[in-house]
Amino acid sequence: MTERMIRVGERLPAVKLQMMQGGRIVSRPASELFAGQRAVVFAVPAAFSPSCSEQHLPGYVSTLFEFRQKGIEKLFCLAVNDIFVMQAWARERDIVDEVTMLADGNGEFTRAIGMEMDMRRFGLGLRSRRYAMVLEDARVTHLLVEKQGGEVKRSRAENVLEVLEHD
C-alpha cells in the first residue's frame, strides 16, 4: 500500500486510465488526460453499489450546470473497475455526456495517488477510497476524502461546489 496520499498542489502521475470515446477504448496517462483543463474527478469504491448509484453519481449528474458555471469543464467518475463495467453503469444510470467514466482496472492510478482501500475481507479486492478532487491542468487544487468507504459526505457534489464558491 502507498504510504502517502496525493496532496493539494501536486500533479497527477502519468499512470494510464481508460475511457470510451466513439465506441473505442482509449488509454491515456492521467497527467495528459487532465492537462490544460479544469476538471473534477470523483472516485467511488464500486460501480453499481447502492451508495455510489443512488447518492454519489446522481449528485454530480444533477449539478452539471452549476459546475460549468464555476468554470469546471468536465466531470469524471473513477473506479477500480474495468471499462465495460463503467460503461454498463453509465448506461444503467442513463448517463450520456454529463460525466466521463474512467476505469482504473488494475488500481494502478489509485495506488499511485495513495487512495487504495483494501476490501478483500468483503470479497472486493483493492478498491478506491471515496473522494473528490478539483484539478487545474492536472494539478490538485482541492481534495475531499471520505473517512469511511461507505460514507458520501465530504465528496458530495454539493460540497465540491461549495469549495469552488470560495475560490
Q: Would residue 145 count as lying in a domain? A: yes
- Among candidate residues 17, 52, 79, 133, the one labeled active-site is 52
pLDDT tens digit string along 61-76? Answer: 999 999 999 999 999 9
Beta strands in the chain (DSSP E): 16-21, 24-29, 38-43, 74-79, 100-103, 116-118, 126-128, 131-136, 139-145
**Residue 127, domain member (yes or no):** yes
Q: In the prediction, which pLDDT does 126 show? A: 85
Residue 131 lies in a domain: yes
Q: Would residue 7 count as lying in a domain?
A: no
Please check whether residue 71 lies inside any domain of the structure: yes
Q: What is the pLDDT of residue 120?
A: 80
Residue 10 forms part of a structural domain: no
With a cut of 90, say whether residue 55 has pLDDT above it: no
Residue 3's pLDDT band (cuts 50, 70, 90): low
What CA–CA distance (Å, rounded) separates 13 from 90? Answer: 26
Q: How many domains does the chain have?
A: 1
CATH of residue 115: 3.40.30.10
Q: 11 pLDDT exceeds 50?
A: yes
Q: Note the pLDDT of residue 151.
A: 77
Inside any domain, residue 156: yes
Is position 9 within any domain?
A: no
DSSP character string of 6-55: --TTPBPPS-EEEEEETTEEEEEEHHHHTTTSEEEEEE-S-TT-HHIIII
Whether 52 sits among the annotated catalytic residues: the reply is: yes
User: What pLDDT is stored for residue 1 in this prediction?
Assistant: 47
Q: What is the domain extent for residue 63?
A: 16-165
Q: What is the mean pLDDT of the chain?
A: 91
